[in-house]
Amino acid sequence: MKFLKLNFIFALFLFFNSLNAIDLPDFSVIAEEQGKTVVNISVVNKGQNNQNISLSREEEQLQEFFKRFGIPGMPGMTPPGENRRKNPPSGTGSGFIIESDGYIITNAHVVFQAETVVVKLSDKREFNAEIVGIDKRTDVALLKIKAKNLPKVTFGNSELIKVGQWVAAIGSPFGLENTMTVGIISAINRALPQENFVPFIQTDVAINPGNSGGPLFDTKGHVIGINSQIYSKSGGSMGLSFAIPADVAINVAEQLKTNGKVIRGWLGIVIQEISKELSESFGMKNTQGALVAGVEKKSPADSGGLLPGDVIIKFNKNIINKSSDLPRYVGLTKPKTTVPVEILRNGKVLTLNIKVGTIPSQEKITNSRLENQPNKFNSIGLVLNSLSDQQKKKIGGRKGLLVKDVQGSSLTAGIMKGDIILVVNNTPVKSIQSFNNDLRKIPNGKVIAILLYRNGDTLFVPVKVGK
């Protein structure tokens, strides 16, 4: 009886162990089939000379590491004591074939300023590639090689991905071609600094230098993203990598192929996230939407009636959950298209019909130096001064007050010397006296929303009245 009981327990152990094994994906088929679609990219940047270059300390350490495992030298790296070849690669990356006649997607930062781009296929054939187009805003580039009947990837729907699902990357980390690493999706729709047009996919897949531009696969072997960035203190993988969603890449690649550039929609506004404090100051029930902090004169937004302080909650039927959603929807809109924009203004929901413009090729930011003059701190810790004619001209002739010094709650909120206060709780400022008088009427502990002008941009800052 005891023997049967032990056998039963052992059988249960094997059963549950087999269930766990079933849950773990097998990427071997993807590695075998899709590895053929991934390419290695090496570039020589413009202005690079052909003189001999000695190995850096980091390269020497890597060489020593590979020697310990019986590998004579790291791929793409010259052994110590030997001269580098003429026109040595000044950068490496990865890419993948999207059309069988030789169109390849990679990252813009891999081939930007490249004089020569060499694409190496999995069968070891090498081709000089033509750069069809580069889009730095999304970090996507399209290349073309003279080849036919190439294996190509199949794209998946990046809008259907979920946090926790398994994914795999194939690329050339440190020049090691066709290396596969696996992990899960850690987060979706990540907004990174200065990257307003891309809702990044965050993963814990090991991504290292050389993986840039390579594909991110789902368990079906479909490409759902392009591995683009990592967060690292050491330069290597720390489990924080970011991929450009496939739908963004496809749209960019199609425009680059057709036009050689990407044409995006534009409103001409400065937006910011809505914090809990700002939502309270605006009388909002939640923090959803994109807060309009500034409107450029004679821009589509200006012509369409948008004002600083408006909260955009819907753009052309697309709900704006956070401010980073808006640039992507606007950018994907064809210029000269009139779209409904739903806003919250002074507690009321309004719909404006705005004709979308074309995004400028360059954005100019004007920096200014401002003088300090003595004065007294008001109840929120500000020393203010009237604007000079030159400062008024800088903000388009509007009224405002110059911040000469800052302390207390205003300093905590992030207001800086040199900022120009334009609006308080949706009311334009008139004078120092009226501003300070209005402050005295506000109960201590209440949060007010102050619209600032700073270095060419405007932004709202929530400030708590009183100590």
Residues carrying an active site annotation: 109, 139, 212
What's the mean pLDDT when you consider all of the chain?
A: 82
Q: Which of 228-242, 287-301, 327-341, 378-392 has the lowest mean pLDDT?
A: 228-242
Model pLDDT for residues 236-263, shown as the tens digit of each residue: 667 789 999 999 999 999 999 998 889 8
CB 305 within 8 A of CB 287: no
**How confident is the model at residue 196, as a pLDDT?**
67
Cα distances (angstroms) measured from residue 256 to each of 71, 109, 137, 179, 262: 41, 16, 13, 28, 6
Q: Which of 89-103, 203-217, 381-395 has the lowest mean pLDDT?
A: 381-395
CA 409 – CA 418 distance, rounded (Å):
17
> CATH classification of 29-144, choosing from 2.40.10.10, 3.60.20.10, 3.40.190.10, 1.10.3370.10?
2.40.10.10
Q: Which residues of 256-265 are buried (b: 16+ CB within 10 A; e: fewer)?
A: beeeeebebb
Distance of CA 437 to the CA centre of its chain: 43
Predicted confidence at residue 284, as pLDDT, reads: 84
Average pLDDT of span 181-209: 86
Q: Can you tell me the distance from the alpha carbon of 322 to that of 446, in angstroms, rounded to the nearest whole number? A: 24
Q: What letter would DSSP give residue 378?
A: -
From the CB of residue 121, how many other CB atoms can be counted at a distance below 10 Å? Answer: 20
User: What letter represents residue 429's amino acid?
Assistant: V
Q: Please check the confidence at residue 46 and state whether its pLDDT lies above 90.
A: no
Confidence of residue 68 (pLDDT cuts 50, 70, 90): very low
pTM: 0.65
| pLDDT class of 17 with cuts at 50, 70, 90 | low
Token output for 133: 């187009």
347-364: b or e for each residue (b if 16 or more CB lie within 10 Å)? Answer: eeeeebebebbebeeeee
pLDDT in tens, 395-425: 887 888 999 888 888 888 888 888 899 988 8
- Tell me which of 358 and 281 has the higher pLDDT: 358
Query: Which pLDDT score, from 0 to 100, does residue 399 have?
Result: 85
User: What tokens were used for 293?
Assistant: 């902090």
Report, at the CATH architecture level, how domain 382-464 is classified: Roll (2.30)
pLDDT higher than 80, residue 362: no
* In the chain, domain spans: 29-144, 158-259, 266-358, 382-464
> Which whole-number Å values give the CA distances from 194 to 199, 238, 243, 420, in the listed order?
12, 22, 15, 23
Do 266-358 and 382-464 come out as alike in CATH topology?
A: yes
Name the one residue in this structure whose structure tokens are 């940047």. Answer: 45
The pLDDT-based confidence of 20 (bands split at 50, 70, 90) is low
User: Confidence band (pLDDT; 50, 70, 90) for 272?
Assistant: confident
Give residue 75's pLDDT: 45
pLDDT at 222: 96
Mean pLDDT check: name the lowest of 133-137, 207-211, 355-359, 360-364: 360-364
3-state secondary structure of 456: coil
Supply the pLDDT for residue 374. 43
Q: Which amino acid is at 218?
A: D
* 104: region left, alpha or beta (phi > 0 left; psi from -120 to 50 alpha): beta
- Distances in Å between the alpha carbon of 60 and those of 44, 65, 71, 75? 21, 9, 14, 13
C-alpha distance from residue 211 to each of 92, 106, 221 (Å)? 9, 10, 18
Stretch 369-395: mean pLDDT: 71
Confidence of residue 366 (pLDDT cuts 50, 70, 90): very low
Cβ contact 183:219 at 8 Å: no
Phi, psi (degrees; rounded to nearest 5) at 333: -80, 135
CATH 3.20.20.60 for domain 266-358, yes or no, is: no
Q: What is the dihedral of CA 65, 71, 73, 76, to 10 degrees?
A: -100
CATH assignment, 158-259: 2.40.10.10
Gap between the Cα atoms of 316 and 329, Å rounded: 8
Alpha helix (H) residue ranges in 56-121: 57-68, 108-111
Q: Give 4's pLDDT tier (boundaries 50, 70, 90).
A: low
